[in-house]
Structure 1
Amino acid sequence: MTAHAKFPSPYDLKTPVGAEGWEKLYPYYLQFQNSLRDKEDGKFWFCDSQHWPSPFKPFDAVTVEFAVKCLGQYNTRHYLIPPANGVEYRIHNGYCYMSPVAVAPELIGGRVPHFMERAGYYFQNWDRLLANWDKKVRANIADLEALNFEPLPEAVPLEWITGGVGLDNTYALMETYDRAIQLLYKTWQYHFEFLNLGYAAYLDFFSFMKGQFPTIPDQAIAKMVQGVEVDLFRPDDELKKLAKLAVKLGVADALKSGSVDEALAAVGRAPNGAEWLKAWKEAQDPWFNFTSGNGFYSTDKYWIEHLDIPLGYIRDYVVRVQRGEDIDRPTEAIARERDRITSEYAELLDADARAAFEGKLGLARTVFPYVENHNFYIEHWSMSVFWRKMRELGAIFRDAGFWKDADDLFYLNRQEVRDALFDYGNGWAVGAPAIGPTYWPPEIERRKTILAALATTPPQPALNNPPDVITEPFTIMLWGITTESIGRWLDGAANTTKLSGMAASPGIVEGRARVVRSADELGQIEQGEILVAPVTAPSWAPIFGKINAIVTDIGGMMSHAAIVCREYGLPAVTGTGRASSSIKNGQMLRVNGSTGEVTILS
């Protein structure tokens, strides 16, 4: 790292041409305030492009608000995690920047007994409380599904008059919208109920191992908790089952014909076709409530609404099954490797240390599956339903002339949607045109122009002066933000043939690079290529059978990408900072997932 090098201040960063006025798209509390410059410039901020890789539409910013606020509350107010409060977050030039809030050293000791009591209760009652969580989340999803937005009628129903209801249809419409937002808020409250404890237990085990074996590789520790069966892998597993069933029933060729409708019709005409179609239908609820993105954007495409996506993956699997390939995850080999490493290190410990080792590892293995499992129920299933309901509301506005497309609703922030609802109901109530149909179309076009301009400029990876040493464990584990990675960002592309990052999943392979910037480009991937991306989503797993390795710009040992790669036995280097902008399609690469090095060979 260059001496005294620092990243730019957010206050000095220029607005991309054409994006002037972007600040008005987001609430005041999500922005750097001029009156707080001295304080804000004294903090180190990094761009969370792992979760939010593109600029926010105004409505979509609700995901960062609810997610990061709820993350913070569990550290700070629920469990009183001794060294870590929450994470401050701001939107700047459309991107999300974060700054972890540490606990003052003199206060850490006082939090320890509270943490032991509160977190200890969860750890000791994990299975019972997790079963309760599952019940709560499924009920919350059912409540979201039950929401129904209806356009305003010509007149209040006669039964409401004769029944003395005393309300009009706008009341239900506004109440339903408010309920949708509250259910989303509840979704994110539940998301973090267990998640931070899952990380805390792993970090406790991690710190113990580093204390016992100072030179132990991070990857060796991670391998001791791998080999988990989690619901996040179920959507991909269901596709594999459907591919095998298609071959077994003799409908594989019919399945390959034309569009989704044409393929399903061809299967339906085939002998045994009805059996396959029944399995196809059964797999959809809930496993097709799965997005190729990460659930944080209204533009994410969910399988249940875009059946061509899962069908495309099934077709790929069918070809591989017909070739005689094994398409299953290498679960047995991964479990064997887990057990081998665990026993080798356990044998090096004395009796007391061995007891502590077994206790901490046992807890980490008990709680770790949640770190991935919650992802299906929250980011995928819950958010699938929420975005669908918001588009239903957007369609009502569209039909009332407020804007052109149902999705235009997302160019309003969540408070403006409430105002637009009142405007819609107000015009209906007084018998005069609402203001929205003349106000919103040009305003939405203006906002589209701003967002397109914001997307032309990649975000700065970080802002302000980095600390001399990064020690905050969540920042390292989740985002892969380390002292070394910051040094690489500051030094820029000094080395044009070698990149370094986190050794996230072991193995050494060579292959051609395929640079992918969004899920829409996954179809371009060819057999044996190395996937290079700013970040990957866990839902990209169906293409893992095609590729040889993964390289990402951001992400730590405990990022979803790293965990999924280990479970699929795929070499991975995460947190390189600049792989997707330094590597070009077709270049030959050598990826060493054991050391974290990527070499550009051609």
Structure 2
Amino acid sequence: MSQKFISPYDHQAPEGAEGWKELYPYYMVFQENLKSTEESKFFFCDSQHWPQVFKPFDAITVEFAVKCLGQYNTRQWLIPPANGIDFKIHNGYCYMSPVVVAPELIADRVPQFMERAGHYFMNWNDLLENWHKKVKTVIDDMEAVTFETLPEVIDMEWVKNGVGLDPTYFMIQNYDKMIDLCYKTWQYHFEFLNLGYAAYLDFFGFCKETFPGIPDLSIAKMVQGVEVDLFRPDEELRILSKLALELQVNNIITKHDVDSALAILAESEAGKTWLEAWEKAKYPWFNFTTGNGFYSTDKYWIEHLEIPFGYIQDYVIRLEKGETIDRPTEAIAAERERITEEYRDSIASEDAQAAFDGKLGLARVVFPYVENHNFYIEHWAMCVFWRKMRELANVFVQAGFFADPNDMFYFRREEIHQLLFDYGRGWAMGVPSIGPDYLPNEVARRKKIIDALSTAAPKPAFNEPPAVVTEPFTIMLWGITTESVQGWLSSGETTNQLKGMAASAGKVEGIARVINNPEELGLLQQGEILVTRVTAPSWAPVFGKIKATVTDIGGMMSHAAIVCREYGLPAVTGTGSASTTIKTGDLIQVDGSTGEVVILETA
């Protein structure tokens, strides 16, 4: 078995993707003159957050997110064992390399972290309330930005008022404002996030020391069962589904598509009552993506009402059959209290019990943010951002620059300035812009490169892994452990067994359904086991259909793990290769208590 992964410098791009590096900023790709430095680092593919090849503009999300993550770890909180995360795009995919703190420097960071993080922990609710105001202001500021086609002549009122500027000035300013607001969004994203992980990790470490041999899953169960806003969109759908039966409009909903159903419902009093509830649920809860908010191609419920409506249809059909569609919140809360009491009672010392209570209490207070921020940032804020960027793209389409608004995303964010200036320059001089003649060939060239990159799956990692993976965020969030890395290294060996994180308890057998993108979710049949690279929070409505979840990447604190625990579904995360090893139709056994997945029969 190999002891190291291929070097990124030896990993060639697929045929047809030549020249791919120029699509991304120079600091986001491996540079030849830094080969010896970069080959000394261990990089893993972050397909949990970025499972697809980046279009050049879409790389803005990894660029802003990982930079902002780093600044809080390294420069603001001084998280004792962890600095930021180095990242690169290679062959279109995102690779991460956590930057650990030298062991001899950790002790000096502890008091600084305690003082800085302590201030947030002591004032958590007030600071979090202020955070919500800040994020809502950013969303409102983005909503206020508009992009319109340049007028034939400048408005006479501008002349009378002596504005002294033209619409191209404001168009460029608005574009810069949107990029600035997106950047601000990601600053806020990480303001609290790593503190949520840090508090949990502190409790986790205390439990490991106090209760030798305690399973990771038992520790996770002690903070489960909390109400989080990330589940609200799904809850709204379930409320609407129950209301449909109460008002006896369920037949209209299950027998028609969304447009027809909404039109028919508007013709009766009962239908109007349901429509009022539907409209009320839409804002803000339908600002929810089927992806994760990181790509311009992500579909949002608010813009694709057939998606939430389809989930409601499924729920209504299940209710008509007499099934329950509620999350098992009471059972999960009872299990949380049972486990907590069991471990707490085993502590002999009163001081140790008090420490246990304090650390668990803090973890429970701050933990909801670990999921909640997703709704406000990745879903709501990024929904508005991508919508406004498509608004700008449509201006370019009307000016003949592109055939399709999505073509704009084949250009880096700084290149959009050139397009804006070209558009404004031609308008100002009364001559055609160059874009309509120049850009179609360039878009076609770049599309060909991105399509070629998309034909090859990413390598799980590059270079030599550490002998022991100790960096806590890498383990908790991505599920990358010493064992999982060894599993990746031996992934070429034929096996019917996979090992991952024991992420959510329970043992089941069922038919596998491999899902590679959200568009395939409709293929899921009742009682199947979902196998995928990574799940998105917005997939929650299908969890009532499935028996269990298996993912390629993700740790105890990944969204897949947390959501499965909250929905009472067995889950194994971080298997490395489940979505390519398992085939749709295979009979598999999933043990979410041990992290084992066995292929019992192939399709």
Shorter-chain-normalised TM-score: which range?
over 0.9
Aligned to 1:356: 355
For the residues of structure 2 that align with 1:192 and 1:21, how far apart are their CA atoms? 34
- Return the offset for 1:57: 0.3
Shift of 1:588: 0.7
Q: Does 1:159 align with 2:154?
A: no
Match of 2:219 among 209, 218, 221: 221
For residues 334-349 of structure 1, the aligned pairs below 5 Å read 334-349=332-347
Distance 1:438 1:484 in 2: 54
1:90-119, Cα deviation, whole Å (9 max, x unpaired): 000000001001112222222112111110
Residue matched to 1:413:
412
CA contact (8 A) 1:257 1:266 kept: no
Q: Which residue of 1 aligns with 2:568?
A: 569
Alpha carbons 1:512, 1:587 under 8 Å: kept: yes
Residue 89 of structure 2 is matched in structure 1 by 91
Q: Give aligned-pair identity as a percent.
A: 67
Match runs of 1:519-598 below 5 Å:
519-598=518-597
Structure 1 stretches lacking a partner, 5+ long: none
For 1:78 and 1:496, the matched residues in 2 are separated by 45
Structure 1 residue 31 and structure 2 residue 49: aligned? no
Q: Describe the superposition over 1:175-223 as per-residue Cα deviations: whole angstroms up to 9, x where unpaired.
A: 0000000000000000000000000000000000001112000000000
> What residue is the counterpart of 1:382 in the other structure?
381
Alignment correspondent of 2:137:
139
State the 1:15 CA deviation.
1.3
The CA distance in 2 between the partners of 1:419 and 1:229, in whole Å, is: 46
Query: Is 1:70 aligned with 2:68?
Result: yes
Equivalents in 2 of 1:509, 1:492: separation in Å?
Answer: 24
Q: Structure 2 counterpart of 1:192, which letter?
A: F
The corresponding residue for 1:12 is 10
Give the 5 Å matches for 1:462-501.
462-501=461-500
How far apart are residue 271 of structure 1 and its match?
4.4
| 1:497-538 alpha-carbon deviations (Å, 9 max, x no partner) | 111110000001111000000000000000000000011111
The question of whether the paired residues in 2 share the 8 Å contact of 1:511 and 1:528 is answered with yes
**Aligned counterparts of 1:264 and 1:510: Cα–Cα separation in 2:** 40
Tell me the CA shift for residue 352 of structure 1.
1.4
Distance in 2 of aligned mates of 1:115 and 1:439 = 53
- 1:468 Cα deviation from its structure 2 partner: 0.4
CA contact (8 A) 2:254 2:316 kept: no
Distance 1:109 1:596 in 2: 34
Report the secondary structure of 2:407's partner residue.
helix
Using the alignment, how far apart are the partners of 1:182 and 1:568 within structure 2?
A: 37
Partner of 1:510: 509
Partner letter of residue 381 of structure 1?
W
Find the counterpart in structure 1 of residue 429 from structure 2.
430
Q: Quick check: 1:454 aligned with 2:426?
A: no
Match of 1:175 in 2: 173
Q: CA deviation at 1:321?
A: 1.0
Query: Deviation at 1:494?
Result: 2.5
**Counterpart position of 2:184:** 186
Q: 2:327 aligns with which of 326, 329, 333?
A: 329
Counterpart of 1:565 in structure 2: which amino acid? C
1:237 corresponds in structure 2 to 235
1:311 maps to: 309
Aligned counterpart, 1:300: 298
Q: CA deviation at 1:82?
A: 1.2
Instruction: Identify the range of structure 1 (462-471 vs 155-164) with the bigger mean alpha-carbon deviation.
Output: 155-164
**In the alignment, is the contact (CA less than 8 A) between 1:255 and 1:266 conserved in 2?**
no
Deviations 1:392-443 (A, max 9, x none): 0000000001010111111111001111001110111111111111111111
The answer to whether structure 1 residue 286 and structure 2 residue 284 are counterparts is yes
Give the partner amino acid of 1:596: G
How far the C-alpha of 1:257 sits from its partner, in A, is 2.8
- 2:241 touches 2:312 (CA, 8 Å); kept in 1? yes
CA contact (8 A) 2:479 2:573 kept: yes
Write the deviation string for residues 290-310 of structure 1: whole angstroms up to 9, x where unpaired. Answer: 011110000000000000000
Q: Check conservation: 1:251, 1:270, Cα contact below 8 A.
A: no
Match of 2:246 in 1: 248
CA distance in 2, matches of 1:436, 1:136: 38
1:270 Cα deviation from its structure 2 partner? 3.8
Counterpart of 1:365 in structure 2 is 364
- Structure 2 distance, partners of 1:428, 1:343, is 72
Counterpart Cα distance in 2 of 1:137 and 1:75: 21
Q: What amino acid is the match of 1:561? A: A
Measure the CA separation in 2 of the matches of 1:599 and 1:17. 35
Q: Distance in 2 between matches of 1:158 and 1:526?
A: 61
Which residue, 174, 198, 201 being the options, matches 1:200? 198
Contact 2:254 2:317 in 1 (8 A): no
The 4+ residue runs of structure 1 with deviation greater than 6 A are none
Q: Provide the C-alpha distance between the structure 2 equivalents of 1:158 and 1:267, rounded to a whole number of angstroms.
A: 46
Kept in 2, the 8 Å contact 1:254–1:270? The answer is no
Distance 1:184 1:99 in 2: 24
Partners in 1 of 2:340 and 2:28 — Cα distance?
A: 45
Counterpart amino acid of residue 121 in structure 1: H
Look up the match of 1:44: 42
**1:511 & 1:57 partners in 2: Cα distance?**
37
Secondary structure of the residue that 2:8 maps to in structure 1?
Answer: coil
Aligned counterparts of 2:339 and 2:258: Cα–Cα separation in 1? 46
Which among 270, 273, 280 is matched to residue 271 of structure 2?
Answer: 273
Matched-pair contact (CA < 8 Å) for 1:534–1:554? yes
Q: For residues 387-398 of structure 1, what are the structure 2 equivalents within 5 Å?
A: 387-398=386-397
Gapped regions of structure 2 (runs ≥ 5): none
Amino acid at match of 2:525: E
- Return the offset for 1:496: 2.2
- Tell me the CA shift for residue 590 of structure 1: 0.8
- Counterpart of 2:47 in 1: which secondary structure? coil
In structure 1, the residue matched to 2:443 is 444
Separation of aligned partners in 2, 1:406 and 1:62: 18
Question: What amino acid sits opposite 1:323 in the alignment?
Answer: K
CA shift, 1:268, in A, is 2.1
The answer as to whether partners of 2:42 and 2:464 remain within 8 angstroms in 1 is yes
Q: Provide the rounded CA distance (Å) in 2 between the counterparts of 1:434 and 1:266.
A: 47
